[in-house]
Amino acid sequence: MLSIQNLHASIEDKEILRGLTLDVKAGEVHAIMGPNGSGKSTLSYVLAGKDDYEVTAGSASLDGQDLFALEPDERAAAGLFLAFQYPLEIPGVATMTFLKTALNAQRRARGEAELPTPAFIKLVREKADGLGISTDMLKRGLNVGFSGGEKKRNEVLQMALLEPKLCVLDETDSGLDIDALKVVAEGVNALRAQDRSFVVITHYQRLLDHIRPDVVHVMSKGRIVRTGGPELAHELEARGYADYISDEAA
Amino acid sequence: MNAEVRPIRTAAETGLIDAFERARSAQAGGEAARAIREEAFSGVVARGLPNRRVEEWKYTDLRALMREAQPIAEGATEADVSAARSLLPLQEVDALRLVFVNGAFAELLSAIDAPQGVTITPFAHALQSDARAALTLAGAPQGDAAVALNTAFVTSGVTITVAAGTKVARPIHIANVQTGPGHAAYGRVLVTIGEGAEATLIESFSGDSGGHQVNSTVGLTLGDDSKATLIKLQDEGFGTLHLATLAATLGARAELKTVALTAGAAASRQQIYLGFKGAKATADLTGAGFAGARRHLDTTLVVEHDAVGCTSRETFKTALDGEARSVFQGKIVVRPGAQKTDGKMMAKALLLSEGAEADAKPELEIFADDVVCGHGATVGALDDELLFYLMSRGLPKVEAEALLVQAFVGEVLESIEIEPLREALVARSERWLVARD
């Protein structure tokens, strides 16, 4: 599904990713944990194609397609979805309008017919209900006046609608209380499928109690430094990241 | 012989002088009108067309923009009226409709079954009955070049009077269509809304791509406790020079709302002179503008608070592409004694290209001490973070930009209550976002 080889990336000439290699097979959930500043968010932005970052070496492909040859919208159409750590507010763009524009843009890019409005509305209602997103929220400006939890649920709603192959969740747990975390996690779990993979980036283990990973990676100083099973997350929770920071510094 | 330095006349100035010579003998209104026109025109001749050295026209150099004076339109032929039919916008809006083709009233395209309490008469009648009232655009600077040229040449237009207490349900649409070889068209609309009356006016300007010169003036008088909404669509052909002046005076507790969508013309300038004459009146002036290529778009307004407790809001938003240029000059004046004035003015320009340029000159002149006034102006590009967010959801860059620009101007157009009208203007802005012309 996702294959990243020896990825190097910088921002303003400062190298953040330094030889990152990662393979995610179809249907798997991989967690990437690591201390602040290890490059976790950079990885998600580089994959999604934010142009502040420069890829200086290495490759990333999604089902064999070279991600770095694609614009951000083309990556989305190819099946990549990034759930933002801080979803942006766009006043004046109704959430419903945004969802419809996004879904139809992707359908067009894949050569599929646009979804007629009644069918679209039915689909959104269905998915929104499960996430506790009200009709009123859908009418409001995108993320405007949404609480932190509502913004994250709205990200999951987009994910559910767009049905990506690979979902990258960037610190989705940040700013969420335990109830909000459960709703978001349930939404994500409902999307788990044989042909869909997840990369869950998080600083804390608690999200992984709700979204159970198959593989856990520890990231430090721009590369994966250790890989293990779910038990690795618990070990990190107990011992912290100090080992990885000092190991690297040594 | 004298040693006075006289500026060399431009072709346009010479052309205007010739046109005035030819027009004056045939113009209606008798001696009184002739004297007023003469005075207005001689001022323009003496000063020449305004250029960048004239403060009010610093950013819109009319002398440079107006290379020649087009001949005055001589009415509309049957073929013109027929061509105008397809150039007439907003036909889906249910309205009383007055259509002017090349400056001449086109009865064939109009629907003027005026309801009880509404009087609609040709401007020529106003000229005959009281030339001074008809030719003085109350509240506007009479010496301003656009106003003075209109005063000198205008013969067509309409006078609308809404009787006290009359609430007009259907909007009144005054459509101006230009078609055929390049010509100059001058129009004047004089509207009086009686005490406690309510009305909605729609003005539209459209036409083919000929090099027309359109000069429009609107005089709007709102009686005490009256309410008026004025919605303007300027969608002239891209060869046209469009000059428009709105002069409005508000009585006590009157409410005025204006919404303008500027999408056409090679160069356009909308002047608004608004005066508060009675206490506790409110005015909400808004505009959205789009320009691409090398088009020029100027909004110049003066809001004069001359009464206690009045509120004014001015919100103007412009999106520019190519090498287009927008100008916003806005001044709020608070006269001594106009205490408890609440005035806020905001101009925002969005630059979608490296070559686009926006100039903003907001000013406050306050001579009273118990007022709340503010102004702001922003010029900037679209937010990269927002663009990336939208693109990461699959929107191609052009679509993402279009969505953000729609959101930017949305505030202005969304406030239009008449749904088919709002939809027509939103659709017009969507077309611009595809063409960026």
Give the domain-ending residue among B278, B295, B318.
Answer: B278
Contact residues, chain B, for A103 at CB < 8 Å: 394
Give the ipTM of the model, two decimals please.
0.94
Give the domain-ending residue among B278, B304, B329.
Answer: B278
* Nearest Cα residue in chain B from A157: B393
Query: Which of B382, B395, B409 to substitute to test the interface with A, most A CBs within 10 Å?
Result: B395
Please, are residues B90 and B111 in contact by the beta-carbon 8 Å criterion?
Answer: no
Of B180, B177, B165, B174, which Cα lies nearest the Cα of B123? B174
Please, are residues B381 and B351 in contact by the beta-carbon 8 Å criterion?
Answer: yes
Rounded-to-integer distance, Cα B177 and Cα A129, Å: 51
Of B182, B216, B150, B156, which Cα lies nearest the Cα of B70? B182
pLDDT, residue B26, reads 82
With tokens 């419903």, the residue in question is A96
Instruction: Count interface pairs A-B at CB distance under 8 A.
Output: 76
> For the purposes of burial, counting CB atoms within 10 Å of the CB of B228, is it exposed (0-12), middle (13-18) or buried (19 or more)?
buried
Which candidate from A51, A101, A141 shows the least CB-CB separation from B395? A101
Chain B CB within 8 Å of residue A102 CB: yes
CB contact under 8 A, A105 and B411: no
> Residue type for B43, please?
G
User: What is the extent of the structural domain holding A85?
Assistant: 2-249
Rounded-to-integer distance, Cα A178 and Cα A184, Å: 10
With tokens 């856990």, the residue in question is A216
- Give SS3 for A245: helix
Mean pLDDT of A105-122: 92
What pLDDT digit, counting tens, does each position of A162-220 carry?
Answer: 999 999 999 998 888 888 899 889 989 999 999 999 999 998 888 999 999 999 999 99
pLDDT, residue B1, reads 52
Contact residues, chain B, for A91 at CB < 8 Å: 407
Instruction: Name the minimum distance, in Å, from the CA of B18 to any CA of chain A.
Output: 51
Instruction: Name the minimum distance, in Å, from the CA of B74 to any CA of chain A.
Output: 46
Those residues with Cβ within 8 angstroms of residue B62's Cβ, 6 or more apart along the chain or in another chain: B49, B50, B51, B145, B146, B243
Instruction: Name the minimum distance, in Å, from the CA of A248 to any CA of chain B.
Output: 32
User: What is the extent of the structural domain holding B177?
Assistant: 11-278
What pLDDT digit, counting tens, does each position of A4-17 carry?
Answer: 999 999 999 899 99
Which candidate from A48, A72, A93 shows the least CB-CB separation from B403? A93
Measured CA distances, B287 to A214, B261, B290, B297, B411 (Å): 56, 6, 10, 12, 10
> Looking at the predicted structure, is the pLDDT value of residue A250 above 50?
no
Mean pLDDT of A83-91: 93
Measured CA distances, A222 to A8, A40, A45, A240 (Å): 8, 8, 13, 18
What is the value of pTM for the model shown?
A: 0.88
pLDDT, residue B393, reads 96
pLDDT, residue A249, reads 40
Q: Is residue B116 part of a domain?
A: yes
Sheet with A223-228, strands from edge to edge, namely A80-83, A166-170, A197-202, A29-33, A215-220, A223-228
Of A36, A54, A32, A37, which Cα lies nearest the Cα of A45? A54
User: How many domains are there within chain A?
Assistant: 1
The percentage of chain A sitting over the pLDDT mark of 70, rounded to a whole number, equals: 98
Which candidate from B392, B406, B408 shows the least CB-CB separation from A72? B392
Q: Chunked in runs of 10, what are the mean pLDDT values of chain B (437 residues)? A: 67 96 85 94 96 95 96 94 97 97 96 93 94 95 97 96 97 98 97 98 96 98 98 98 98 98 98 98 98 98 98 97 98 97 97 96 96 95 95 94 92 92 94 93
User: How many domains are there within chain B?
Assistant: 2
Q: Is residue B25 part of a domain?
A: yes
Chain B CB within 8 Å of residue A86 CB: no
Name residues 129-158 of chain A within 8 A of B (Cβ): 141, 158
CB contact under 8 A, B399 and A105: yes
CB contact under 8 A, B400 and A82: no
Instruction: Name the minimum distance, in Å, from the CA of B246 to any CA of chain A.
Output: 29
Chain B CB within 8 Å of residue A164 CB: no
Tell me the sheet residues that pair with A5: A59
CB contact under 8 A, B394 and A73: yes
Rounded-to-integer distance, Cα B73 and Cα B209, Å: 15
Sign of CA dihedral A234, A235, A238, A242: negative
What pLDDT digit, counting tens, does each position of A22-46 carry?
Answer: 999 999 999 999 888 899 999 999 9
Of A235, A188, A234, which Cα lies nearest the Cα of A211? A188
Please, are residues B299 and B289 in contact by the beta-carbon 8 Å criterion?
Answer: yes
pLDDT, residue A174, reads 86
Tell me the sheet residues that pair with B393: none
Q: What is the CATH number of the domain that holds A178?
A: 3.40.50.300
Alpha helices in B309-418 (DSSP H): 384-391, 397-413
Taking the CB of residue B334, how many other CB atoms lie within 10 A of it? Answer: 25
Instruction: Name the minimum distance, in Å, from the CA of A127 to any CA of chain B.
Output: 17
pLDDT, residue A204, reads 85
Give the domain-ending residue among B260, B278, B296.
Answer: B278
3-state secondary structure B211-229: CCEEEEEEEEEECCCCEEE
pLDDT, residue B236, reads 98
Between helix A148-162 and helix A178-190 the angle, nearest 10°, is 0
Which candidate from B384, B386, B394 shows the least CB-CB separation from A77? B394
pLDDT, residue A237, reads 82
